Chains A and B, each alone.
Chain A
Amino acid sequence: MYFYKKINLTYDRPLYSQLINTLLALTLAFQFTACSANLQSKVAGNLNQMSKQQTVAILPVEIMKKGQEETGEMLRQGLYANLKGAKFNLLERYVVDGLLKQNNLHNPADFLKINPMRFAEILGADAVLITRINKVERSYLVIHSSIEIGISAQLVDTRTGEILWRAEQTEQDYQGIAKIPTGISSAILGPIQFVTNKLNLHRMTSKLVDKLTAIVKNPEDANKKETFEETLISSAATRDLEKIKDVASLKSEWADDVSAYTEVPPDLIDRKNPLLVKPHKNQGSLPSKINWRQRKTNLKPAIPQQETTITPVQKLKQNQPPQYTIQVGAYKTEKNAHQMVNRLLKKGYEAHIKSELKQGTPLFKVLVEKFNNKEKAYDLANKLINKENLPSFIVTTAR
């Protein structure tokens, strides 16, 4: 009471009251933000399908600013330790880092742009966990200090590009006057110790990872709000799946339009043992050691390592054996096709152009030689690949 009166002597009542109210409001605000966590997390139903037979690679953490490297390492280490209890296997960190290094993938900022399928082929993982530190803020204001960490994470199925889990989390904690200090020295030293002690950052990261990964470890516990309504496919994967679809459609169109052709995938070219070999004598049959029973099927069995996709031979007149020519390019403009023809003619090849309309658009195909014998066509195609570095198709053509 005395204190109140004394104060009153110095300050106006409304001003004092305002000050007290402000302090109370600030204290309350601190209390509400204290140890606060903001977690937004959603999983896909397919996360339930993951088992110990599937492998997940936790990629290096992307950081937004210099100085966040240590937090990034802590986060990744925490993720590894925490997800050991998940239903899937984890690909060891040294394996992940070693393979990324071998493939010159050094910058975590690029990971989201990379097609997940590429990660599957590089790492052999069924899913990758891509994480980013959005924020690490430490503030110190004498009687109040705080640490705030914000991260985002995304688990992507490398086989489908599906996003299995996506989360964003912010964890904030503080030390200061609002926590009711146990003494004057605590009020002063507490905030300093809090913000400078590395262990606190570690504890916060550990707490953050605990909350973050809870749903991944037990996806069956996810409620409706925490589950994606629709399947989400990563944009990089969508792009490439569309490309595969388009290429497959285009190939089937070509197959319908242009008699038949044979493609030589560049990555399959073995220069010592040329890929373009004679068709397998048993084409259409199954490997003898497998006990496959041939049943009625709409599809033909695959023949490994063979170039053949020879299609509509029925378009050719049945009584006349087809001729074989090698297609080395198809151009939208005649000029470009002529350039290729001239280049080949100069080298002594008999090249010519065949033009046609593809969905109303002209297409100029550059073809080399014509053979009655398929083997000779293979030989030349081989030569064009090995000597001229020209990927080519063998095309059957009517006489």
Chain B
Amino acid sequence: MAIIAVGCGKAKVEVYHGTEANWDYPKTVAILPFSYETSITEQKRPHQILRAVFFNYFSYLGYTDIPIETVDLKISPLIKAGTSIKDISNAQLMKILGTDAVIRGHVINATNFTAGIYAETSIEAKLEMVDLRTGDLLWETKHTELSTSSIITPSLIDMIAEQTANAEVNKAYHKVSESFILKVLAKVPDPASLRHEHVQLPRIISIDSNIKKNTRLLPNDVIYVSMKGDSKLDAHFDIGSYKTRIPMKEVSTGLYTGSFRIKKGDQTNSSIIIGSLSNKKGLTAKKFYKKGLVFIK
């Protein structure tokens, strides 16, 4: 590993609204496509790499972020109509994306070259997070991350390794993006601890089934499962990991039922029936039916 000249020190993140005093800090965030200076060739894709790496690491913080593919899909009609990302208003974004906040990114400069004993990859970018509900700028940063390898690298072995690696453009950008993002995220407000107490899974009161003993089931036998819990949610049951996501239907308020008919060739041993109830936030509750196991010959 090289002790090469990496980065330009720590990232400076200007935080205008921290999580400490702000209990209504944004929870849902969309990472918009990063723009880039025209001097950067599209083929190099540093803006896309930086965005993807940002998304991967940002999800570690206590925000609910929507996948970048979903963001792209939702804003694509506007982009296709010729609207630039920076020209989409906060109100429009909130309506289209349904999030509390967005992350905007702009790559100012990006370099990647290897020449003789010198190799360099750098990304200079500006990032900011905007509260769509109020229009407030929550934090912003302008940072340059630089990775170089040359005769000043402490060892020859590292120098050779770094220069070889630098020739793989995407990997080199990815590596620099990682350093960039880690430095920035270390200073970005994290509302995780504020949300711990508010996490609540859907409620499952009970689960029942007609499997009462360790009886071996035969083709054409039917496993019936019923579950009681919060109403108007998505319900399904699993037979261990053998058959999963067998749909259940809400037959009366909070009462869900589903069934599985054994077919010829089905086979499982000691599988447990598990009921699941999922809400729109993507949280799922599970309950095990423990009065009997499923054995299928």
Q: How far is the CA of A178 from the CA of B259 in the complex (A)?
A: 67
Q: How far is the CA of A288 from the CA of B240 in the complex (A)?
A: 28
The residues of B that contact A84 with a CB separation of less than 8 Å are 55-56, 59
For chain B, the count of residues having a C-beta within 8 Å of the partner chain is: 82
Instruction: Tell whether B79 is near chain A: CB-to-CB under 8 Å.
Output: no
CB distance from A2 to the nearest CB of B (A): 27
Among A77, A125, A162, A199, contact of B7 (Cβ-Cβ < 8 Å): A199
Q: How far is the CA of A306 from the CA of B226 in the complex (A)?
A: 11
For A83, the closest partner residue in chain B by CB is: B56
**A245-B208 contact in complex given A84-B56, A159-B241, A206-B178, C-beta closer than 8 Å:** no
Among A94, A194, A268, A292, contact of B196 (Cβ-Cβ < 8 Å): A94
CB distance from B253 to the nearest CB of A (A): 12
Mark out the residues of chain A between 151 and 196 whose CB falls within 8 Å of any chain B CB in the assembled complex: 157-160, 162, 173, 175, 179-182, 186-187, 189-190, 193-194
Among A55, A76, A179, contact of B154 (Cβ-Cβ < 8 Å): A179
Q: A305 contacts B228, CB within 8 Å?
A: yes
CB distance from A213 to the nearest CB of B (A): 12
CB distance from B172 to the nearest CB of A (A): 14
Q: A290 contacts B287, CB within 8 Å?
A: no
Among A180, A255, A302, contact of B225 (Cβ-Cβ < 8 Å): A302
Instruction: Tell whether A225 is near chain B: CB-to-CB under 8 Å.
Output: no
The residues of A that contact B59 with a CB separation of less than 8 Å are 80-81, 84, 90, 92-93
- B219-231 to A contact mask, C-beta < 8 Å, 1/0: 0111111111000
Instruction: Tell whether B70 is near chain A: CB-to-CB under 8 Å.
Output: no
- A106-137 to B contact mask, C-beta < 8 Å, 1/0: 00000000000100110111100000000000
For A118, the closest partner residue in chain B by CB is: B288
- B143-171 to A contact mask, C-beta < 8 Å, 1/0: 00000000111111111000000000000
Q: A92 contacts B287, CB within 8 Å?
A: no
Q: A248 contacts B293, CB within 8 Å?
A: yes
For chain A, the count of residues having a C-beta within 8 Å of the partner chain is: 84
The residues of A that contact B192 with a CB separation of less than 8 Å are 93-94, 97
Instruction: Tell whether B15 is near chain A: CB-to-CB under 8 Å.
Output: no
Instruction: Tell whether B12 is near chain A: CB-to-CB under 8 Å.
Output: no
Q: How far is the CA of A276 from the CA of B40 in the complex (A)?
A: 73
Which of A293-301, A323-331, A389-397 forms part of the interface with chain B? Answer: A293-301
- A377-394 to B contact mask, C-beta < 8 Å, 1/0: 000000000000000000
Among A93, A245, A298, the most chain B Cβ lie within 10 Å of the Cβ of A298
CB distance from A299 to the nearest CB of B (A): 5
The residues of A that contact B270 with a CB separation of less than 8 Å are 241, 245
**A295-B222 contact in complex given A182-B151, A244-B290, A252-B214, C-beta closer than 8 Å:** yes
Q: A289 contacts B251, CB within 8 Å?
A: yes
Mark out the residues of chain A between 268 and 303 whose CB falls within 8 Å of any chain B CB in the assembled complex: 268, 286-290, 292, 295-303
Q: How far is the CA of A157 from the CA of B271 in the complex (A)?
A: 12
Among A121, A203, A304, contact of B208 (Cβ-Cβ < 8 Å): A304
Q: How far is the CA of A303 from the CA of B224 in the complex (A)?
A: 9
**A94-B211 contact in complex given A190-B154, A289-B252, A304-B206, C-beta closer than 8 Å:** no
Instruction: Tell whether A200 is near chain B: CB-to-CB under 8 Å.
Output: yes
Q: A299 contacts B217, CB within 8 Å?
A: yes
The residues of B that contact A49 with a CB separation of less than 8 Å are 241, 244
Known contacts A92-B62, A181-B155, then 13 further A-B pairs from the complex at CB < 8 Å, ordered by chain A residue? A95-B199, A121-B288, A160-B272, A180-B157, A181-B156, A190-B155, A193-B3, A241-B272, A245-B214, A249-B213, A295-B222, A298-B221, A299-B211
Residues of chain B having any CB pair with chain A under 8 Å? 1, 3, 6-7, 53, 55-57, 59-62, 64, 151-159, 178-179, 182, 191-193, 195-199, 201, 205-206, 208-215, 217-218, 220-228, 238, 240-241, 244-245, 249, 251-252, 255, 257, 259, 261, 270-272, 274, 276, 283-288, 290-293
Task: Provide a sorted-by-A list of 6 A–B residue pairs whose CB atoms are within 8 angstroms.
Answer: A77-B57, A92-B59, A98-B199, A202-B179, A299-B217, A299-B222
